[in-house]
Amino acid sequence: MKNSIPLSVLTNSEKLQIDKMRLAVLLQQGLIAILTNIVITSITAYALYTSETRMFLSIWAGISIFICMLRVGLVIQLKSLSSNKAVTQQQVLFYENSYAMSVLLSGFMWSLLGLSFSLELSFNHQMIIPLVACGMCSGAVYSMLISFRSYCAFAIPALLPMGIMMIMHGFALEAATVFVYLLSSTLLVKNLNVKVMESLGLQRENEQLVVDLMKTNDHQSSLLKKLERKEAFLTQTFEEAGIPMFLTTPELIVVDANKAACKIFAYSKVDFIGSSLCQFFHQEESRDISPEYYKLLDGKISQYSMIKKCMTANHEKLWLNGTVSVVKDESGRVQQVLVQAQDITQQQELSEDLNHQLTHDRLTGLPNRYALEKRLQLLLKQPRPFHHVFCYIDLDQFKVINDTCGHYAG
């Protein structure tokens, strides 16, 4: 058996479980064997009953049946003792040996039947004795296959003395047949017992595999439930977040958008999915990808922020302050891009209004001196292949007009 499990590689706990399984099977089949023994004993005593053998057969049958009844009590007691979860391997072996000793007594009783073997008996009576004894040993192959020592304890005492008695009465050939049968049946039981033990080892391993698989399955089910709860939590957190959020591919193709994004842009989720995120930028905004984005994809930075002017479905301007981060798989590859945005339209419009007031004259609406200085600084910082020309125009006595006639006249 190529796939058999050698008993030597089993742990003590596994050996104990196998021994308990063997004992349970042995005791279960033992009750059937004992009842069969009682029936065969009664039939044999009746078949051999004559006036000359009446006393012997009565005593033999009575003792045999009494021993069988004792064996029944022993089997019931051993079943009760072996069912204890705290039983040790030494105790299990002791119970098996106790059963083998009871079987030994029954075997000796069948060997005593050979004492009635006599030439004065008819040929049929002479052949009944070895045939019945061999038949009992054949039945023991089934009932004691799980325990080789129990089979030997029954078959050897039952057939060996009987064969000797047959030789003493001149039946050498018939006795040789009994010896050959005893040897062949013993070898057969030995070989089958090894196969059964290997099968029990495989059965025990399969049971352990089933237990391990069930534990693994329970663990995976628990992990799956946790993953489902986590996924549901993340999905709900994404969907119900109070700020616009987008999930895109690394190519910035929208995969999902939450409710806040749909509300602020006045687009449906279907309008977003499959579209480029840049498509929703204002036409004044550049569609060029920021260098920071490539750094993010390369793993050089974990996130970055940007401010973009966007356009809603109602053609309204929308300023968003976005934070861009990535979602990676176990191997570190970027799977999705997460964009979280904050509506800063009011702040941006207020900032533009303040900047306009700072850089323009309140009365005329023309750029003031501060705007001029800022513009000059920008021009001077930008290198160009040609020179700048700066023209300054002043009106004489303009301050007098303002002070005398007022700013409106000025």
CA nearest to 102, candidates 33, 171, 16, 24: 33
CA atoms lying within 13 Å on the CB side of residue 176: 3
Give the range among 179-188, 307-316, 362-371 with minimum mean pLDDT.
Answer: 362-371
pLDDT above 80 (res 243): yes
Dist CA 52 CA 44 (whole Å): 15
- The sheet carrying 245-248 orders its strands as 254-257, 245-248, 334-343, 317-328, 303-311
pLDDT above 50 (res 334): yes
CB-CB contact of 137 with 159 (8 Å): yes
CA atoms lying within 13 Å on the CB side of residue 365: 0
Higher pLDDT, 356 or 118: 356
- pTM of the predicted model, to two decimals? 0.51
Phi, psi (5° rounding) for residue 4? -75, 160
CA nearest to 203, candidates 27, 22, 80, 79: 22
Average pLDDT over residues 182-200: 88
Dist CA 5 CA 199 (whole Å): 8
CB-CB contact of 327 with 337 (8 Å): yes
pLDDT above 60 (res 120): yes
9 pLDDT band, cuts 50/70/90, is low
Helix, strand, coil fractions of the chain, as percent rounded to 5: 65, 10, 25
In order, the DSSP letters of 44-103 are HHHHH--TTTHHHHHHHHHHHHHHHHHHHHHHHHHHHHHT-TT--HHHHHHHHHHHHHHH
So where are the chain's domains? Answer: 7-212, 245-350, 360-405
For 274: left if phi > 0, alpha if psi spans -120 to 50, otherwise beta; the answer is left
Listed in sequence order, the residues at least 6 apart from 130 whose beta carbon sits closer than 8 Å to its beta carbon are 159, 162, 163, 166, 174, 177, 178
Instruction: Quickly list H helices, 241-329.
Output: 259-265, 269-272, 291-297
Average pLDDT over residues 82-98: 85
8-state DSSP, 306: E
* Residue 279 burial class via C-beta count within 10 angstroms: exposed 0-12, middle 13-18, buried 19 and up: middle
In order, the DSSP letters of 118-157 are -TTS-HHHHHHHHHHHHHHHHHHHHHTTT-HHHHHHHHHH
**For all residues of the chain together, what is the average pLDDT?**
84
Q: Which of the following CATH numbers is that of domain 245-350: 3.30.70.660, 3.30.450.20, 3.40.50.880, 3.40.190.10? A: 3.30.450.20
CB-CB contact of 280 with 310 (8 Å): yes
Task: Give 41-88 pLDDT, tens digit per residue.
Answer: 999 888 887 755 688 888 999 999 999 999 999 999 988 888 887 788
